[in-house]
Amino acid sequence: MTGKENRLAVVLFGPPGSGKGTQAKLLEGRLGIPHVSTGDILREHVAAGDSLGLEVRSVMQAGGLVPDELVSRLVEERISRPDAGNGFLLDGYPRTVRQAETLNGMLECRGADPVVVHLRVDYNRIIGRLSARRQCLQCGALYNLVSNPPKAAGRCDRDDSSLVLRDDDSEPVIRQRLRAYDEQTRPVLDYYRQRPGKFFEVDGGDGAPEAIAGEICRLVGQE
Ligand code: AMP
């Protein structure tokens, strides 16, 4: 994104396990803009074992947040690529008020306003969901052993690669991630709530993922 035209900058907001990744994967096809997940970008660095990966690995395994400057730099680099020219869907960023302020600066100079969608889900449901979540090592597809199981146990429907439980999807780490959300990320909601017309709330607990994606498209004015 380089010029000053209007671009769609959708911020999917909500606690871990609220369905941001699932929604982003559905919405990128419908809205024609890429899914930018800071968690996925960080996990790629960890898997590659590069210096950034080594720097963030232990914080991520413990369910804490990596430093604001580091993650904001990754986002800036990602949204500057040509495929984000018409906009992008942010999943997992911003997670602190400081990140939200940095994002505002990035968007202002690109002529884009964020549209924030808050996926509301009960915490008890989140713990159940994340413990049953499995992800394809190869393509990142998400499954749930209860509500959306793969056709063959432990294998991805798309590419037959192994499905894994993320390191940070064990119950004690999930609880720590929810604590980080409460303490550092929830205040970002108040920051965005003060932006009339740009903040929407969606029930992310019930309903089929496709129906929730349809509601989000309607809210962001793309359907
Ligand atoms: P996620 O896949 O979004 O749940 O992110 C997994 C982990 O990556 C988080 O628990 C954090 O350790 C780290 N992370 C992802 N996004 C951010 C962010 N915006 N700020 C700080 N840490 C992040």
**Is any atom of ligand 1 closer than 6 Å to the C-beta of 181?**
no
pLDDT tens digits, 71-122: 999 999 999 999 999 999 999 999 999 999 999 999 988 888 899 999 999 8
Q: Where in the sequence numbering do the catalytic residues fall?
A: 20, 95, 133, 166, 177
Q: How far is the CA of 223 from the centre of ligand 1 (A)?
A: 30
Task: Flag the least confident range among 2-11, 43-52, 152-161, 191-200.
Answer: 2-11
Q: Is 39 in the pocket of ligand 1 (CB under 6 A)?
A: yes
Q: How confident is the model at residue 48 (pLDDT cuts 50, 70, 90)?
A: very high
**Of 20, 40, 65, 102, best ligand 1 pocket probe by most atoms within 8 Å of the beta carbon:** 65
Give how far Cα 96 sits from Cα of 39, 104, 185, 187, 201, Å.
Answer: 14, 12, 5, 7, 19
Position 3 pLDDT exceeds 70: no
Whole-structure pTM value = 0.90
Point out the ligand 1 atom lying closest to the alpha carbon of residue 60.
12
Distance 40 CA to ligand 1 centre (A): 8
Among 13, 22, 36, 38, the mutation site with the greatest number of ligand 1 atoms within 8 A of its Cβ is: 38
Nearest alpha-carbon partner for 148 in 92, 209, 202: 209
Q: What is the pLDDT of residues 129-187, one digit of tens each?
A: 899 999 998 888 999 998 899 999 999 999 999 999 998 999 899 999 999 999 999 99
Provide the token pair at 96: 């602190």
CA of 148 to the centre of ligand 1 (A): 24
More confident residue, 199 or 221: 199
Q: What pLDDT is attached to residue 221?
A: 80
Pick the range with the lowest mean pLDDT from 39-53, 58-72, 153-167, 208-222: 208-222
| Probe target for ligand 1 pocket from 55, 95, 165, with the most ligand atoms within 8 Å of CB | 95
Residue 2 above 50 pLDDT? no
Ligand 1 pocket check for 204: Cβ under 6 Å: no
- Asked whether 20 lines ligand 1 (CB < 6 A), one says no
Sign of the alpha-carbon torsion through 16, 20, 77, 111: negative
pLDDT band per the 50, 70, 90 thresholds, residue 6: low
* pLDDT score recorded for residue 46: 95
Those residues whose C-beta lies under 8 Å from the C-beta of residue 137, and which sit 6 or more positions away, are 161, 162, 163, 164
